[in-house]
Amino acid sequence: MHSSETESFDIAWVREQFPSLTLQYNRHASAFLDGPAGTQVPKQVMDAVQYYFLGANANTYGAFLTSRRNDEMILSARAAMADFFNCDANEVVFGQNMTTITFALARAIGRELKAGDEVVVTTLDHDANVAPWRALEEKGVVIRQVDIREEDCTLDLDDVKRKITAKTKLVAVGYASNMVGTINPIAEIAKLAHAAGALMFVDAVHYAPHGLICSESASTWRSSSRTKCARQRTLHRNAGKRERKYRS
Ligand SMILES: Cc1ncc(COP(=O)(O)O)c(C=O)c1O
C-alpha cells in the first residue's frame, strides 16, 4: 500500500468497527490469520441481528409491527445484495452457505440434464464448486475437469477451450482461488461457455469482498459467502438471471 493510501485509510476507525479485535490472549492483542475460517464480524452486523431479535422476530407478511419490520429487513437485504451483484432484487437467493446453495442449484439444473451432457469444473476450485456438479455423475452427466498450469497456479486456458464442447451445459469456475489467490479471467471463460450455449456458474466467495462482481450476462450465476464478507453466519447468497433454460 502506498503511503498516501495508508494516510487516508483510518485503520484505528476500521478496527473499532470489529469488536472481536479487542480480544486479548495471554495479555496480547489477538490477530486473526485464519481467513478461510471466516472474517470477523463488524458491530453494524451484530446490531442488525440484535435489532431483528428484539424488534422484528416474526413470521413474514403479517399486519403487525414485528412482521412488517421483518419484511422490511428482508427487502432491504435483497436490495443491498442486488446492488452488490448488479442484478434484480428478485434474482437474489439467500441460503445456509455457498456449498448448500450450490448443491441445491446443481440438483435443480441437473433435472434438466440427461446422460452424456457435460459440466466443466476446474482443479483450481474449492470443493464447494466441484462436489455439487460431480454429484450429477449419478445420472450420467459427464464431468470434465480443467487442469491448472503448475508453474504459476493459473487455469490452463487451452484446456478450458478443449474441455468446453458442444455437449457442455454448464461451466463452473471460481473467480479467485482461496488457496493460491489466482484471479481467473472470468469474462473470457464466460464468453467461451456462452458461445457453446452453456450456462456459467461463478464461485465468487473469495473474490467478492475484494472486487466488483459485475455481470450483465443472462446465463451466469454468481455466488458468495458470509465467511468472507464479514456477515452473519446464515446470510449466504447467490444470484442468477431469471431465465428458462433447456426446456423447450
Ligand atoms: C473459494 C471458496 N468457495 C466456496 C467456499 C465455501 O463457502 P461456504 O462455507 O459458504 O459453503 C469457500 C469457503 O471458504 C471458499 O473459500
Domains and CATH numbers, the chain: 88-240 (3.40.640.10)
pLDDT at 85: 85
pLDDT at 248: 30
Cα 10–15–19 angle (5° rounding)? 155
pTM: 0.84
Question: Which of 102, 226, 227 for a ligand 1 pocket mutation test, highest count of atoms within 8 Å of Cβ?
Answer: 227
pLDDT at 215: 57
Q: Which long-range contacts (CB under 8 A, 24 or more apart) does 218-225 make?
A: 218/243, 219/194, 219/243, 219/245, 220/190, 221/105, 222/85, 222/175, 223/98, 223/101, 223/102, 224/84, 224/98, 225/97, 225/98
CA 113 to CA 133: how far, in whole Å?
11
pLDDT at 231: 46
Q: Give the Å distance between the CA of 126 and the centre of ligand 1.
A: 7
Contact 119, 170 (CB under 8 A): yes
Q: Give the Å distance between the CA of 98 and the centre of ligand 1.
A: 6
Bridge partners (DSSP) listed for residue 149 = 154
CA 48 to CA 40: how far, in whole Å?
15
Q: Give the Å distance between the CA of 178 and the centre of ligand 1.
A: 8
CA 118 to CA 62: how far, in whole Å?
45
In ligand 1, the atom with minimum distance to the C-alpha of 100 is 11
pLDDT at 52: 97
Q: Give the Å distance between the CA of 210 and the centre of ligand 1.
A: 15
Find, among 195, 150, 198, the residue nearest to 173 by Cα. 198
pLDDT at 194: 95
Contact 140, 169 (CB under 8 A): no
Q: Give the Å distance between the CA of 151 and the centre of ligand 1.
A: 25
Question: Which of 130, 205, 222, 232 for a ligand 1 pocket mutation test, highest count of atoms within 8 Å of Cβ?
Answer: 205
pLDDT at 57: 97
Protein residue closest via CA to atom 14 of ligand 1:
36
In ligand 1, the atom with minimum distance to the C-alpha of 176 is 1
pLDDT at 167: 98
Cα 235–237–239 angle (5° rounding)? 160
With b for 16 or more beta-carbon neighbours within 10 A and e for fewer, the 19-41 pattern comes to: eeeeeeeeeeeeeeeeeeebbeb
pLDDT at 222: 73
pLDDT at 36: 66
CA 28 to CA 178: how far, in whole Å?
28
pLDDT at 237: 57
Q: Give the Å distance between the CA of 223 and the centre of ligand 1.
A: 10
Per-residue pLDDT of the chain (248 residues; tens, 9 = 90+): 455 555 678 988 999 999 999 999 899 988 888 766 778 999 999 999 999 999 999 999 999 999 999 999 999 999 999 998 888 998 898 999 999 999 999 999 999 999 999 999 999 999 999 999 999 999 999 999 999 999 999 999 999 999 999 999 999 999 999 889 999 999 999 999 999 999 999 999 999 888 888 655 555 677 777 666 554 433 345 666 665 444 33
pLDDT at 230: 52
CA 75 to CA 215: how far, in whole Å?
22
